[in-house]
Amino acid sequence: MKLILLGAPGAGKGTVAKLLTKMDGSVQISTGDILRGAVAAGTELGKKAQAAMKAGDLVSDDLIMGIMEERLKEDDCKAGYLLDGFPRTIPQAEALKVLLEKMGEKLDFAVSIEVPTEVILDRLTTRRTCTGCGEIYNVKSNPPKVEGVCDKCGEPVVQREDETEEAINNRLSVYNEQTAPLIGFYENEGMLLKVDATSSDAVIDAIQAKLGK
């Protein structure tokens, strides 16, 4: 399957993407994970992205499109992909449309995962992320077996640098101003699936139903 996952930070895009990869071998493509990897490795890309990320602002559309043009050409994308955290602005959505046309690719649809703000805030402050494989934990509902250590890869599990109260508030307003308009964009394209759901299983069920599986 080839899907775009839309939703505020903390809506569950990453969790849903990880569950979907197990169904048909589609790969999760998270621009946030790619950028965090680049920051940790100290590459040129990481240096360019670091300040905006820490503040909860968006990285430039040009930088993101450069990453995605390369990423979508990789072999593992042939089995399908789940775009998690991309596109995030109207210019990115338009550039993606042109890129996919050029590549002769067609997406199935875009899923908008809608979760109430109070649930989002609670999740983001209690979320912890593995620095090695990106696995997502929650200190209240889903802690790692050993505190601070990833069950899957053994690397440290930490609170993200952009999960301070200030950065979270900024990320939510950036989402409302720059990313939420994509819901209307994909509705106009006739390719939107809206799901009101706080459980990732309910989101998966809705996606499977729309795919006709």
CB distance 85 to 30 below 8 Å? yes
Cis peptide before 87 (omega within 30 of 0): yes
CB distance 181 to 19 below 8 Å? no
Residues 151, 19: Cα–Cα separation, whole Å: 17
Indicate if 13 belongs to the active site. yes
H helices of the chain, in order, are 13-24, 31-41, 44-55, 61-71, 90-103, 117-126, 165-174, 181-188, 200-211
66-105 positions binding ligand AMP, by CB under 6 A: 85-88, 92
Q: Which of 36, 88, 123, 128 is catalytic?
A: 88
Q: Which of 36, 123, 127, 128 is catalytic?
A: 127
Burial class (CB in 10 A: 0-12, 13-18, 19+), 180: middle
7 forms part of the interface with ligand AMP (CB under 6 A): no
109 vs 127, beta carbon nearer ligand AMP:
127
167-186 positions binding ligand AMP, by CB under 6 A: 171
Indicate if 160 belongs to the active site. yes
Write down the least CB distance from residue 162 to ligand AMP, Å: 6
35 vs 150, beta carbon nearer ligand AMP:
35
Q: Which sequence positions are flagged as catalytic? A: 13, 88, 127, 160, 171
Residues of the shown chain interacting with ligand AMP in the complex, contacts defined by CB under 6 A: 9, 31-32, 35, 52-53, 56-59, 64, 85-88, 92, 162, 171
